[in-house]
């Protein structure tokens, strides 16, 4: 049995792709997925994606999880970072010992500073059954069949290949990687850097210009350097940041993702609280910025882009001052 936990935008998009690849899928709805369950029952499109629920899908509400979890061969986790530990802790003992856990959740746990796959592996006591699914993948585009490519990373080549083969289809390319640290650093930190790129867009009126293209390129490229520094410090490969999980994911998130939009709203003058209220959705970079700054302190890393974004979001620094701090720094070697 293939199961996807979380019926929100990404969980449903993953379900659509698995069905497109020829699999029957059980979509396990959480307590927060009532609107999606109602739409499914009514035969309506998914409220966030605007597409029909696929044939071959079985929607399972929480009171029915006990019946399907013992049969799980692969479980895809698509819940918010904050819900990861309680979800895995609640169900791990009900799943078979050889079940593979594919983690689409991206983020660092703010208390332990562990990435999503680390949190899951810690709960299971086994990292070889855990696979990170990362890369430039806007949920609605996955669901509508836009050509997309992702990376499946695991300490077990067999587990990575199993998940990659499940998702692979003509319009959905999958790669594998053994650099779990590198791909997760890219997948998480891109949310933070994308906020900074978005802030540049939002500041255009304040600077009296039509576009802030130069500034966006500056924050984008320096953000990639900082992502590479973090990857290397945590034991990953800097070059992984040049791939789908780093540059690719940052590009799409800054251009069309929630974190880029959040940054634009900040640049336009909204406070973080006002921007979150206006968006009415999870903005992963909001929490990730504080965790990234904490990791920079822990490993004595110089990450000025991360530093100013964290200060804008959590400590009241203005977006304009943040960008001006970055460009007014003293002369140094680029790399």
List the CATH number of the domain containing 41. 3.40.50.720
Instruction: Give the model's confidence band at 38: pLDDT under 50 very low, under 70 low, under 90 confident, else very high.
Output: very high
Q: Do 217 and 130 lie in a common domain? A: no
Between CA 319 and CA 84 the distance in angstroms is 31
Taking the CA of residue 76 as centre, how many other CA atoms within 13 Å lie in the half-sphere pointing to its CB?
A: 31
Domain range spanning residue 101?
Answer: 2-178
Domain membership of residue 333 (yes or no) is no
Q: Is 106 a catalytic residue?
A: no
Q: Which residues pair with 76 in a beta bridge?
A: 4, 102
Between CA 37 and CA 44 the distance in angstroms is 10
Domain end point (choices 148, 178, 208): 178
Q: Do 161 and 207 lie in a common domain? A: no
Q: Average of pLDDT values for 92-96?
A: 94
Between CA 170 and CA 241 the distance in angstroms is 25
Residue 331 has pLDDT above 80, yes or no: no
Residue with tokens 């966006």: 216
Crossing angle (nearest 10°) for helices 258-267 and 249-256: 50
Instruction: Supply the pLDDT for residue 278.
Output: 96
Residue 62 has pLDDT above 80, yes or no: yes
Q: Identify which has the larger pLDDT, 113 or 133.
A: 133
What share of the chain in percent tops pLDDT 90? Answer: 92
pLDDT, tens only, 206-260: 999 999 999 999 999 999 999 999 999 999 999 999 999 999 999 999 999 999 9
Between CA 237 and CA 278 the distance in angstroms is 37
Domain membership of residue 105 (yes or no) is yes
Structural domains in the chain (count): 2
Domain end point (choices 146, 178, 210): 178
pLDDT, tens only, 6-28: 999 999 999 999 999 999 999 99
Between CA 299 and CA 291 the distance in angstroms is 12
Q: What is the mean pLDDT of the chain?
A: 95
Q: Do 174 and 189 lie in a common domain? A: no
Q: Average of pLDDT values for 98-118?
A: 93
Q: CB-based burial of residue 84 (10 Å sphere; 0-12 exposed, 13-18 middle, 19+ buried)?
A: buried
Catalytic one among 190, 216, 237, 261?
A: 190
Q: Do 266 and 208 lie in a common domain? A: yes
Instruction: Supply the pLDDT for residue 111.
Output: 84
């Amino acid at each position: 049995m293939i199961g996807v936990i979380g019926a929100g935008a990404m969980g449903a998009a993953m379900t659509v792709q698995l069905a497109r690849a020829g699999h029957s899928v059980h979509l396990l709805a959480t307590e927060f997925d009532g609107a999606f369950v109602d739409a499914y029952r009514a035969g309506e499109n998914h409220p966030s994606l605007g597409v029909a629920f696929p044939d071959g899908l079985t929607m399972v509400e929480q009171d029915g999880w006990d019946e399907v979890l013992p049969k799980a061969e692969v479980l895809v986790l698509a819940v918010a970072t904050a819900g990861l530990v309680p979800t895995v802790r609640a169900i791990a003992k009900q799943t078979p010992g050889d079940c593979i856990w594919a983690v689409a959740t991206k983020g660092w746990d703010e208390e332990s500073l562990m990435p999503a796959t680390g949190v899951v592996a810690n709960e299971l006591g086994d990292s070889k059954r855990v696979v990170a699914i990362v890369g430039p993948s806007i949920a609605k585009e996955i669901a509508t069949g836009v050509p997309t490519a992702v990376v499946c990373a695991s300490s077990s080549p067999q587990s990575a290949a199993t998940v990659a083969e499940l998702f692979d289809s003509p319009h959905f390319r999958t790669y594998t990687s053994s650099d779990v640290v590198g791909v997760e650093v890219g997948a998480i930190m891109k949310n933070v850097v994308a906020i900074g790129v978005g802030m540049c867009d939002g500041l255009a009126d304040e600077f009296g210009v039509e576009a802030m293209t130069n500034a966006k390129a500056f924050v984008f490229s320096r953000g990639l350097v900082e992502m590479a520094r973090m990857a290397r410090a945590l034991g990953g490969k800097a070059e992984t940041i040049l791939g789908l999980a780093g540059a690719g994911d940052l590009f799409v998130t800054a251009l069309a993702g929630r974190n880029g939009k959040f940054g634009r709203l900040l640049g336009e003058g909204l406070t973080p609280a006002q921007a979150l209220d206006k968006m009415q959705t999870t903005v992963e970079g909001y929490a990730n910025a504080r965790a990234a700054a904490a990791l920079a302190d822990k490993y004595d890393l110089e990450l000025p882009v991360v530093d100013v974004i964290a200060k804008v979001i959590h400590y009241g620094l203005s977006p304009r001052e943040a960008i001006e701090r970055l460009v007014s720094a003293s002369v140094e070697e680029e790399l």
